[in-house]
A and B are shown apart, each in its own frame.
Chain A
Amino acid sequence: MIEITVIDRKGQEHLLEAPTDMNLNMMELCKAYELPVKGTCGGMALCSTCHVYVLSDQQLPEMTADEEAILDTAFFVKSNSRLGCQLKITDNMNGLRVQLAPEDEEN
């Protein structure tokens, strides 16, 4: 079990306990804690509704071409942007801080 801090779109910090043996990713973790992450495509790196900013410097999985491509269609993208669904929760993420990126617009 590790700890991850997620800052929601109102600036509220949430300290989440995350198991590392369930093959969870950041998008699924946020949804499990009922944070406002849509995860519309179900984690296929196809929709960018799980867009987060990484605020700390843990080693994270390399970005794939698919993830880069979908970030091209996202808005509010910064140099520390990642898709939550592509961040598999692992032991070395203990203490990670991420912030939910703004949503492009309301449905």
Chain B
Amino acid sequence: MIETDIIIIGAGPAGLFTVFEAGLLKLRCHLIDYLPQPGGQLSEIYPKKPIYDIPGFPEVLAGELVDNLMEQIQPFKPGFTLGERADIIEKNEDGSFTVITSRGTRHKAPVIAIAGGLGCFEPRKPPIDNIAEFEDKGVEYIIKDPEIYADKTVLIAGGGDSALDWTIYLADIAEKVIMVHRRNDFRGAPDSVDKVKYLAQQGVVELITESQVTGLGGNGRLRTVNIEHDKLGTLTRDVDHFIPLFGLTPKLGPIANWGLNIDKQAIEVNTFDYSTNVPGIFAIGDINTYDGKLKLILCGFHEATLMVQSAFKIIHPDQKLSFKYTTVTGIEARL
């Protein structure tokens, strides 16, 4: 059991900055994020994009902002549970909460701050009618153990780096790799594109472009895949595995099940302190909504700052909080 003062669900910029503001009040924090690295969207989707509206930074790359935030909160030594999704929130008899992740890790704290952004990043699932029937029965969205593809026929769909890289990797392991992509061009790294084209020329990989997978067949286990080719019509291939690699997309996920008031995929909060309808649970950053809400990183920072004031009162009901500037006291990291 991990015990802390504030459990922060979501390690994007709002969640990370919460550690700093909580740290100034001597509150300890532990962050949970489904992604394997901190930074949320900034690390996962647009690390190389410049941001122009962070006060004091005329221009900063999203990835750099995350690095800076990590440096800024380092003195407060936050804990991290990464690569695990916060699934369940339980209310304990002493008034605290227990948060249980997808891997069963338990976290206990009197306050929860949900800084979940757009939700959890989950693999994009192609809109094929019966795809759910074959999940883990031949359809995998994430490659966990490449060895299960040894001597199997594997169809990979997608045209990005992960589709190219796995096609190259599995070409050595699998009996046969078929790659299906909707265009003739690939957006992946040129080296990987050349390698896949070479493997296709050598007959090691069957490359089917201008095509999309439209149907799956099998009896309890995936056996065949239908592919719609722009010019040739429907093609069918016998396969053991179908791995669609179309990147990640955010889903609200378990947040919807926590008894919070939700409006249009966002959590309703009181703008006094960004508290939700459940006392002790706050929501900050892109995941919350209120009149006049703007989904900006700088607004998330502001919300985090006000939120920790109320969090302090819940965690230390008998203590008075006196406001201090960092220019006067420094950050006094004694945690």
Contact = CB atoms under 8 A, between A and B. Distances in A.
What size tier do the contact residues of chain B reach? 20 to 34
A104 interface: yes
Interface in B113-142: 118-119, 124-127
B250 A40 contact: yes
B254 to A, nearest CB: 12
A73 B246 contact: yes
A91 B316 CA distance: 60
B183 A68 contact: yes
A107 B251 CA distance: 6
A105 B127 CA distance: 7
B187 A75 contact: no
A76 B246 CA distance: 13
What size tier do the contact residues of chain A reach? 20 to 34
Given A65-B187, A68-B185, A68-B187, A73 B247 contact: yes
A73 B252 CA distance: 20
A76 B250 contact: no
A73 B158 contact: yes
B265 interface: yes
Contacts of B247: 73
Contacts of B159: 72
Interface stretch (A9-17, A20-28, A42-50): A42-50
Nearest to A66: B187
A104 B246 CA distance: 12
10 contacts: A68-B183, A68-B185, A69-B160, A72-B187, A73-B160, A73-B246, A77-B182, A104-B124, A104-B125, A104-B126
